[in-house]
Chains A and B, each alone.
Chain A
Amino acid sequence: MTMRLTDLPGITLQDDEPVFAEPWEAQAFALIVHLHERGAFTWAEWADALSSEIHGGQTLAYYQHWLKALETLVAAKGLTSASALTARKQDWLDAAARTPHGQPITL
């Protein structure tokens, strides 16, 4: 049975919606636009990376695919590595855990 667009949760076909649902989506989006403008990769390379991620068999929300493709591409381009990203992610989670609520989180 084909899935109807109207069956998708949270999707309105006519009404305008906010551009970004959460701040991290906006940051992930802008990182790609900025890295491309700085010449880190071509737009075709990015489209390929995003397409491979979307068609990789996992169904995620769009910007989650976007973020995974971004992580993959910057590692493939040698800008950073997967292990550095994982380590730094943990640094941020640790920093959040020791920061009192309401204060800016810094490493």
Chain B
Amino acid sequence: MPHDHSDDHSHMSDIDARVRALESLLSEKGYIDSAAVDEIVQTYETQIGPQNGAHVVAKAWTDPVFRDWLAADATAAIHSLGYTSRQGEHMEAVFNDADTHHLVVCTLCSCYPWSVLGLPPVWYKSPPFRSRAVIDPRGVLAEFGLTLPDHVAVQVHDSTAEIRYLVIPQRPLGSEGMDEASLRRLVTRNAMIGTGLALSPEATS
């Protein structure tokens, strides 16, 4: 490959070398299969993301039987759509309504419903969000541009390694005639964490 400094040696960062050390040692001992590791990266980069959760929410908005199932056994209901957790944790769906708004956090580390939302955004993993979401949820929501009426209670759910939460936002006004496929586009990642609301149909048209 032509290069201006063809006699230059390669540069590897310390952190890159640490990851390569882990991979090469564990692979030599048979603890990992490098091809399977690459496949996991690919899957999380391309196939698993908030579009999965949006599917769950849109179906809950349009199918009362599914909604009841989701409320009773979210793990099984979500699994029925083909989204399975590789970590085996239980899912719980929490439903926003006129009186209650749900917000999800993980104060310990950053447990997150990967199977339906993909990997967590940077802010979800940040110490200020992890600590302040519990102490001052309304203040945190305001920073996301979400100011709720005083009569709406904010309920904060702390995720664990065993239980992950998916917020089912309220179906927006004006979306009555929309089918499930169009409704999915109204469901944002933040709405399913509770730091936002579902979009109004005008916002996406």
Collect the chain A residues with CB atoms within 8 Å of residue B8's CB.
Answer: 100-101
Q: Encode B125-152 as 1/0 by CB contact (under 8 A) with A.
A: 1111100100010001001110000000
Q: Is the CB of B86 within 8 A of A31?
A: no
Q: Encode A1-14 as 1/0 by CB contact (under 8 A) with B.
A: 01111111011111
Q: Is the CB of A79 within 8 A of B38?
A: no
- The smallest beta-carbon distance between B96 and chain A, in angstroms, is 19
Collect the chain B residues with CB atoms within 8 Å of residue A86's CB.
Answer: 21
Distance of A54 Cα from B17 Cα, bound (Å): 22
- The smallest beta-carbon distance between B190 and chain A, in angstroms, is 7
Q: Does B20 touch A at the CB level, under 8 Å? A: yes
Q: Is the CB of A31 within 8 A of B119?
A: no
Q: Is the CB of B18 within 8 A of A13?
A: no
Q: Does A76 touch B at the CB level, under 8 Å? A: no
Q: Encode B18-34 as 1/0 by CB contact (under 8 A) with A.
A: 11111111100101110
Max chain B CB contacts within 10 Å: which of A47, A54, A91? Answer: A47
State the interface size on chain A (CB cutoff 8 A).
67
| Interface-located stretch among B55-63, B65-73, B74-82, B106-114 | B106-114
Q: Is the CB of B5 within 8 A of A67?
A: no
Q: A24-B16, A79-B26, A100-B8 are in contact. List 18 more A-B contacts (CB 8 A).
A: A2-B132, A5-B129, A6-B143, A7-B128, A13-B190, A17-B122, A19-B118, A24-B19, A30-B40, A34-B32, A37-B86, A54-B109, A62-B110, A86-B21, A88-B25, A89-B21, A97-B9, A102-B6
Binding site for A on B (CB under 8 A): 1, 3, 5-26, 29, 31-33, 36-38, 40-41, 44-45, 49, 86-89, 108-111, 118-119, 121-123, 125-129, 132, 136, 140, 143-145, 160-162, 189-190, 195-196
User: Can you offer 28 A-B residue contacts whose CB atoms are under 8 A?
Assistant: A3-B128, A5-B128, A8-B126, A12-B123, A13-B144, A13-B190, A14-B196, A17-B121, A19-B44, A24-B13, A24-B16, A28-B22, A31-B19, A31-B26, A44-B161, A46-B161, A62-B110, A62-B126, A67-B18, A71-B22, A79-B29, A85-B21, A88-B20, A89-B18, A92-B21, A98-B9, A100-B7, A105-B12
In the A-B complex, list the 7 residue pairs whose CB atoms are closest, starting with the nearest: A47-B161, A96-B12, A88-B21, A30-B40, A92-B17, A102-B1, A89-B21
